[in-house]
Amino acid sequence: MLQIVIVILVISFALYTLLGGADFGAGIVETFRGSKGEKAVSKAMAPVWEANHVGLILAIVIIFTGFPRVYSTISLYLHIPLMIVLIGIVMRGSSFIFRFYDTDDKTFHKYFSVLFKISSFITPVFLGIIFGAMLLGRINLNNRGSFYERFIMPWFNLFCLSVGFFIASLFAYVAATFLVGETAKTPEQKKYIYLSKIFLFFTFALGIFVVLTAEQECHHLFYGFFKSSLSIAAFIIVVVLVPVIFYLYNHTNIFYLRAVIGAQVILIILGWFAIHFPVLVYEKSGDNLTFFNTAASDATLYQLLIALFVGLLLIVPSFYFLFKIFKRTGPIKPDSIT
């Protein structure tokens, strides 16, 4: 039973990285495309952006129901970056919808746009920082030490920051590739392909940087990687898929391009996950929080599974329907909302 819950948690996490990631990334990519970018992003994202983010709520609910100690530990020790993520989510969602529905006042429109882009960048960086902090092992459950040692040091370091930038770049890569299929004109498409290549390069470079900073902070990511055959396999496939992507860029096959990028992201998550399994939060003295030592009782997991199972039965077809309406037939026309 626990295994199934873990699988669903990983799925909702992958879903969030792909859909939520494309969404956050769109805000980053937009920065490089000016007002044309804004139009493309608004058209592509407006019908789906809220649904894209529910993956996060699902993951949070699974964690606090199924692995309550993980949730309470993260929210206690990583209060500050979590608060920043929350503010980012609020700012981003509101500014997106405000500017989408209020196009008359140019000054305010500009402010909302700036706010949208900034929060689209900061939020994934801090999500990554939280993610890094869970793995670095600076969280001290004994609750001794200064404020800085307890509530800042676990996440404020080069490793966590590089994970943050890695995540932001990965999201931007997903988004740029996604937007290739959302723009009809060939010159615009070329620009998104170019951005996609740039962010692919950045993501790769930052990935290496993550491993280096991990070593510097005495977190042996590299060693863990070589011990996990699943991670090695995932990494090899991700790399092999790069030339495939370059082939697809030139032939602009939207469907396969998206499928390959999706596969890459899911493999990165799986590989990352395999290195650390079953640990969710590394603790300073080695008192790590794992799936096993934090799992709720069977009665709880059973009820959680029923809810998730019924949920997925309803959510998957509705999601398919939503994307079928808005994504297969190309971008929606701007007049369909007014």
Q: Which of residues 150-179 bind another protein (CB under 8 A)?
A: 150-151
Q: Which of 104, 106, 187, 243 binds another protein (CB under 8 A)?
A: 104
Residues 6+ apart with CB under 8 A from 114: none
- 91 within 8 A of 119, measured Cβ to Cβ: yes
- 294 within 8 A of 69, measured Cβ to Cβ: yes
Residue 20 CB, nearest distance to another protein (Å)?
Answer: 11
Q: Which of 2, 10, 11, 76 binds another protein (CB under 8 A)?
A: 76
Identify which of residues 242 and 314 has a Cβ nearer to another protein in the complex. Answer: 314
DSSP alpha helices (H): ranges in the chain? 2-15, 21-30, 34-45, 49-66, 68-77, 79-101, 106-136, 147, 158-180, 186-216, 221-227, 229-251, 254-276, 291-294, 298-327
Q: Which of 11, 31, 39, 98 binds another protein (CB under 8 A)?
A: 98
Identify which of residues 158 and 315 has a Cβ nearer to another protein in the complex. Answer: 315
Identify which of residues 227 and 324 has a Cβ nearer to another protein in the complex. Answer: 324
Angle at 319 between CA 118 and CA 120, to 5 degrees: 5
Question: Does 46 help bind another protein (rule: CB under 8 A)?
Answer: yes
Binding mask 108-147 vs another protein (x if CB under 8 A, - otherwise)?
Answer: -----------------------------------x---x
The stretch near another protein (CB under 8 A) out of 18-26, 87-95, 186-194, 231-239 is 87-95
Residue 165 CB, nearest distance to another protein (Å)?
Answer: 23
Residue 51 CB, nearest distance to another protein (Å)?
Answer: 4
Identify which of residues 3 and 146 has a Cβ nearer to another protein in the complex. Answer: 146
- DSSP tag of 156: -
Question: Does 326 help bind another protein (rule: CB under 8 A)?
Answer: yes
The stretch near another protein (CB under 8 A) out of 61-69, 134-142, 193-201, 235-243 is 61-69
Question: Does 331 help bind another protein (rule: CB under 8 A)?
Answer: no
Q: Which amino acid is at 231?
A: S
Phi then psi for 202, rounded to 5 degrees? -60, -45
Q: Which of 56, 153, 221, 266 binds another protein (CB under 8 A)?
A: 56
Q: Residue 183: name the closest of 69, 319, 42 by CA.
A: 42
How many residues does this entry show for the chain?
Answer: 338
The stretch near another protein (CB under 8 A) out of 31-39, 164-172, 204-212, 306-314 is 306-314
Q: Which of 7, 205, 259, 307 binds another protein (CB under 8 A)?
A: 307
Residue 35 CB, nearest distance to another protein (Å)?
Answer: 21
Q: Which amino acid is at 87?
A: I
Residue 319 CB, nearest distance to another protein (Å)?
Answer: 6
Rg (CA), the chain: 20
Q: Which of 54, 230, 237, 241 binds another protein (CB under 8 A)?
A: 54
Q: Residue 279: name the closest of 67, 77, 85, 62 by CA.
A: 67
Angle at 227 between CA 223 and CA 228, to 5 degrees: 120
Q: Which of 73, 162, 169, 228 binds another protein (CB under 8 A)?
A: 73
What is the spatial distance between Cα 158 and Cα 163, in angstroms, rounded to a whole number? 9
Residue 264 CB, nearest distance to another protein (Å)?
Answer: 25
What is the spatial distance between Cα 15 and Cα 2, in angstroms, rounded to a whole number? 20
Residues 6+ apart with CB under 8 A from 22: 52, 171, 174, 175, 178
Q: Which of residues 200-229 bind another protein (CB under 8 A)?
A: none
Q: Which of 4, 7, 57, 208 binds another protein (CB under 8 A)?
A: 57
Tell me the three state secondary structure of residue 92. helix
